[in-house]
Amino acid sequence: MNHQLTTVVIVDDDPTSSLLYASSLRKSGYQIVTCSGLRSAMDWLNKNSNHGASLLVTDLQLTDGKGLDLIKQTRKLSKSMPIIVISGDSDPASIIEVMRENVQDYIIKPVTPSILLTKVEYHLSKSDSDYQKSIYEKERIISLEKLIDWYNFKNRKLEADNFDSSALHKNLFHILRASLSQGAGFGILLQLIGIIQATKKDEFGNHILQKEILEILEDNASYAKKVIDAFTEIEDVIFGRVSIVQGTIKELISELDSLPKDLKSFLAIKNQSLSIGIPNSEYSYNKQILWEKTFFKKIIKELLLNAMKFSPQTSKIVILIYLDQKEISISIINPMNDDNRVGEVLPEEYHDLIFEPFFRLNKNIYEAYQTLDFGIGLSLVKETVVKFGGSINVRNLIDHLDTESKGKVEFKIKFPFV
């Protein structure tokens, strides 16, 4: 890929790291500008503000100042240029402080050149409009999605060192849920409080609350409750609070059969259809799996809503069920919408990432589907499937049934028989 017109500015006080990052990005065709300090970086950015940098990569510790100051000054020049921070500071408070300056990514050292390259390509693929967030949307990204890089890093590090990564995973969702329960991350509520404090008072000193403000408060309170409930569900699965029992394949198929009716209103949004392929043979219908009926239906609905959101108008979504001697497989197959900016299939580098908490293919909000759009839905799916003793993976398929071959995405869940 040729990126000759794309300039990446790298600011790092460590010449070895700077050289390593620059070399990797230069090999991929990017033009590179390296600076060792805040002053030299700002000099270059100011001189080239009209047609200069496309993306900034910076450390937080610089030879003559702080990376945070560089970020703030850069944001005065450009509100939408992607900024990636590379730092050894893994303190959550520090990360939140940095992310509040509309930083697109925070990567904990050490970072490999390949990971940096992936991040750079991802953020450069986004248009300027992707970064023009409302206060509400920006708070959601800051408090949740961006902070997760730190948690994911620590998770991987603990796994590599053979520590108890499951304990960390429990703490991750417990901390986030507790934080949300206390109101953290919902900056819009703080903004509204400020508005209320500025409203007129009656003769007794009580604020006169306008109907519009009350409606916004009610909407955000409702949204906050949904978020906390979602984290509670994930926490319940992880901590083993969900009562897992044995269920038959016949019961499972019965739950799947009810889905087209349950999801009729959502299918109508894009005039989509849902068909379920059920095996003719019933020899395995009495075999049993481990599950919890409510959560099973919840995760299948999540996968189907995900398929609807990312599939084009009038598309067909298919559920296929396979039975063999050892397990049952449930495949959900759908085409990809052309406007998702990832292509007609899901790039392989995303096949594992999409199950990471808060990873999102884009920043779109799908209000019609009544989903939170935090990127935690697939995390709940994976946690639940694993808790049931099963597995889930995603892959790309080529459909040759139509007049022309088309790419499709398949999510496959496998549950072993008890």
| Residue 402 domain flag | yes
> Is the domain of 263 the same as that of 407?
yes
This prediction's pTM:
0.56
Please report the pLDDT score of residue 137 as a whole number.
Answer: 47
* Co-location of 65 and 92 in the same domain: yes
pLDDT at 114: 86
User: Is residue 13 a part of any domain in this protein?
Assistant: yes
DSSP character at residue 333 = E
Highest mean pLDDT among 34-38, 122-126, 159-163, 208-212: 34-38
Q: What is the pLDDT of residue 108?
A: 85
Looking at the fold, whether 249 and 330 belong to one and the same domain comes out as: yes
The residue assigned the tokens 């849902």 is: 274
Do 25 and 90 fall into the same domain? yes
When pLDDT is averaged across residues 151-180 and rounded to a whole number, the result is 51
My answer on whether 220 and 279 are in the same domain is no
Predicted confidence at residue 209, as pLDDT, reads: 66
Tokens of 19: 């050289």
pLDDT for res 298: 94
Residue 181 confidence class, pLDDT cut points 50, 70, 90:
very low
What gap in Å lies between CA 140 and CA 224, rounded to an integer? 11
Q: What is the mean pLDDT of residues 385-397?
A: 94
Average of pLDDT values for 15-35?
90
**Start-to-end C-alpha separation, the chain:** 50
Helices (H) and strands (E) in the chain, counts: 15, 14
Q: Cα(400)–Cα(23) distance, rounded to whole angstroms?
A: 42
On whether both 87 and 195 belong to a single domain, the answer is: no
Query: What average pLDDT does this structure show over 342-349?
Result: 76
Strand arrangement of the beta sheet that strand 7-11 belongs to: 31-35, 7-11, 55-58, 83-87, 105-108
Instruction: Give pLDDT tens digits for 184-216.
Output: 344 445 555 655 666 667 777 776 666 666 666
Residue 156 parent element (H or E): helix 148-160
128 touches 79 (CB < 8 A): no
SS3 318: strand
Whether the pLDDT of residue 135 is over 50: the answer is no
**pLDDT per residue as tens digits for the range 307-337:** 999 999 999 999 999 998 899 999 999 998 7
Tell me the pLDDT tens digit for each residue of 67-79. 999 999 998 888 8
Residue 141, pLDDT > 50, answer no
Quick: pLDDT tens for 258-289. Answer: 999 999 999 999 999 999 998 877 778 899 99
**Nearest 5°: phi and psi at 74?**
-65, -40
Give the separation between CA 323 and CA 320, rounded to whole angstroms: 10
pLDDT(152) > 70: no
Q: Is residue 148 part of a domain?
A: no
Res 391: pLDDT: 96
Contacts of 27 (CB under 8 A, 6+ apart): none
Mean pLDDT along residues 204-233: 70
Number of domains into which the chain is organized = 3
Helix, strand, coil in percent for the chain, rounding step 5: 45, 20, 35
Please report, as a single letter, which amino acid is at residue 287: K
User: How many Å apart are CA 354 and CA 357, to the nearest integer?
Assistant: 8
Residue 121 and residue 57 share a domain? yes
Whether residues 209 and 307 share a domain: the answer is no
**Peptide bond before 357: cis, by omega within 30 degrees of 0?**
no
Secondary structure (3-state) at 389: coil
Residue 195: predicted pLDDT: 57
Residue 352 binned pLDDT confidence (cut-offs 50, 70, 90): confident
Q: Tell whether the model's pLDDT for residue 297 goes beyond 80.
A: yes
Please state, for a pLDDT cut of 90, what percent of the chain lies above it.
36
Closest CA to 332 of 232, 413, 215: 413
Would 138 be classed as within a structural domain?
Answer: no
Please determine, for residue 93, whether its predicted confidence score (pLDDT) is greater than 80: no
* Residue whose entry in the numeric block shows the structure tokens 């805040």: 38
* Domain that includes residue 284, residue range: 245-416
Domain termination site, one of 81, 97, 132: 132
Residue percentage of the chain with pLDDT more than 70: 72
- Residue 32 lies inside a defined structural domain of this protein: yes
Q: How far apart are CA 317 and CA 312, in angstroms?
A: 10
Kindly state whether residue 145 falls inside one of the protein's structural domains. Answer: no
CATH of the domain at 110: 3.40.50.2300
Question: Which range (50-54, 94-98, 104-108, 214-218) has the least confidence?
Answer: 214-218
Q: Are 343 and 409 in the same domain?
A: yes
265 & 386 share domain:
yes
- Partners of 58 in the β-ladder: 11, 85
Residues 408 and 335: beta-carbon distance below 8 Å = yes
Number of residues written out for the chain? 418
Cα dist. 414→65, 276, 390, 417 in Å? 53, 16, 5, 10
- Paired tokens of 346: 């899901």
Cα torsion angle, 22, 342, 100, 6, sign: positive
Residue 293 sits in a domain whose CATH number is 3.30.565.10
Looking at the domain assignment, is residue 152 inside a domain?
no
Mean pLDDT of the chain: 79
Verify that 265 and 411 share a domain, yes or no: yes
Task: Check residues 139 and 109 and name the one with the higher pLDDT.
Answer: 109
Burial of residue 122, with CB atoms counted within 10 A of its CB: 0-12 exposed, 13-18 middle, 19 or more buried = middle
Q: Which of 96-105, 179-188, 315-324 has the lowest mean pLDDT?
A: 179-188
**Is the pLDDT at 409 greater than 70, yes or no?**
yes
**Consecutive H or E run containing 413:** strand 406-416
Q: Would you call 393 helix, strand, or coil by DSSP?
A: strand
Would you place residue 6 in the very low, low, confident or very high pLDDT band (cuts 50, 70, 90)?
Answer: confident
Same domain, 221 and 270: no
Is pLDDT of 4 > 60? no
Classify residue 146: in a domain, yes or no. Answer: no
